[in-house]
Structure 1
Amino acid sequence: MKKISALFLVIIFLALQFNLSAQETINDQNRLAKDIIDKYVEAIGGKEAMSSVEDRTTIMRGNIMGQNVTIMMKQKWPNKLRQEIRAGDMNQVTVFNGEKGVMTAAGQVLEISGKELDALKIESNMDILFDPESFGITLDYEGETVVDETPAHKIKMTLPSGIRWFQFYDKETGLKLQENKEMQTQMGLIETSTYYSDYKEVDGKLYPYKVKQSMGPQSFEMTVSSIRINTGMDDSIFEVEEKPAQQENPELE
């Protein structure tokens, strides 16, 4: 049981007054960060194309700690999310209906709250990159760095809760290479690192097909097996239930 709990933990996903010159520096950093995010949106297809996505289903597969793992994520505009994880004979389901979120695992339903819920509200929103500041996110440009020998820009996103996300974008292509996220858990504040590569086109939009994540000494790589867009999802799959669902999901096979 401890191994399974650790496995699911590995899998799982923030005003001071200054003088004028300091404020100008902050504004410059903010503007640079916005420009880099805008370049990323253009690189993956453009705002118009990304705005046309009403729903998306992503299925990923990999091997984690000796277990074959399948992850299916369903998203529906603007901010509904359902994520199902199968690891061996264990299942975990996370559902967010736009306001409330729950996680089902080992026959128990746990309500998501606090900073975890705050982060989930932002993670689930499909329009977040078009105007991060409208969601209360503070943007800061933190300079140039290198990700796997690739020159990159580093941006800090601070959520309203104080949780911080650090994003790294390829200087040349504009594509996202890496993302470091703080997560508030029952074990305290932890940080995960996710690496993105092998971008492929799906209906005129680019998505990474290789996703590598690490947390402490644990790391794993997932390969996207399919991405389906605008299939006409029913809102019922995002209903927050008080009892765990019993049926198996054939999409995870």
Structure 2
Amino acid sequence: MKITAEMDIMNMKVPITTTIVQNKGFRSESTVQGMTVVQAVNGDKGWSINPATGNTKPTALPEDAVKSMANETDLTGLYNYKEKGYKLTLDGEEDLAGAKVYKVTMILPNGVRRINYISKDTFYILKIVAQTKMNGQDVMSENIQSDFRAVDGIYYPFMSEVTTSAMPGTKMGLRITSLEVNPKIDPKIFEMPQ
């Protein structure tokens, strides 16, 4: 899958391209103030380039960052959860901004916990609250999803609003401008350059 989007963060518009191969690779490229930031995972290895932090050459990511990003290679989420070793519990029903939702907690084998708020009417996932580890610290994030559109018969949220405990008080908006399903992807883009 290849996603082209625009992130709105701290009054800046940041173009971002994300490329994902199911259970194999994840790569995100964004341009901030003329600098290109790259993050990628390939199986159990990950790397980044971030000129804003002085990393102008590919640098290995810490293990917890790799684990967190590796979760993003699962494009099928709740589907086949048992086969993937995920634990699911139905925690009841709630009202979310006027929508009736099911509250479903999903725990991944690596301990990441995600609470999915699923519309009773459409079965779209309207909100995800996730708890992960980053740099040894617990990080909570909330992702509110909207503007669902069909691409090749599958509905995707084209708008997201994300808040995270790693950046208190900051809201990040993400608007997808294009989404390609099953494009040709060179697997080398996920490998750390030498």
- Output the TM-score relative to the length of structure 2: 0.87
1:72 counterpart = 2:17: yes
* Aligned mates of 2:122, 2:8 — CA distance in 1: 30
**Deviation by residue 1:157-213 (Cα, 9 ceiling, x = unmatched):** 112232311111001110110001112122711211001111111122211111111
**1:173 aligned partner:** 122
- Gaps in structure 2 of 5+ consecutive residues: none
CA distance in 2 between counterparts of 1:62 and 1:116 reads 21
Q: How many pairs were matched up?
A: 187
Task: State the one-letter code of the partner of 2:137.
Answer: G
Match of 1:221 in 2: 173
Q: Counterpart of 1:234?
A: 186
Q: What letter matches 1:195 in structure 2?
A: I
- CA distance 1:134–1:140, shift in 2 (3 Å): same
Query: Alignment partner of 1:194: what SS?
Result: strand
- Judging changes above 3 Å, is the alpha-carbon distance between structure 1 residues 133 and 120 closer, same or farther for their aligned structure 2 residues? farther
> 1:74: how far off?
0.6
Segments of 5+ residues of structure 1 without an aligned counterpart are: 1-55, 243-253
Percentage identity across aligned positions? 21
Flag the structure with higher helix content: 1
Mapping 1:32-47, distance limit 5 Å: none
State the Cα distance separating 1:128 from its structure 2 match: 4.3
The aligned runs of 1:107-186 (5 Å cut-off) are 107-186=56-135
TM-score by length of 1: 0.68
Higher gyration radius (CA) = 1
The one-letter code matched in structure 2 to 1:239 is E
Contact 1:61 1:222 in 2 (8 A): yes
User: Whole-Å Cα distance in 2 between the matches of residues 201 and 110 of structure 1?
Assistant: 37
Q: 1:180 to 1:213 in 2, by over 3 A?
A: same
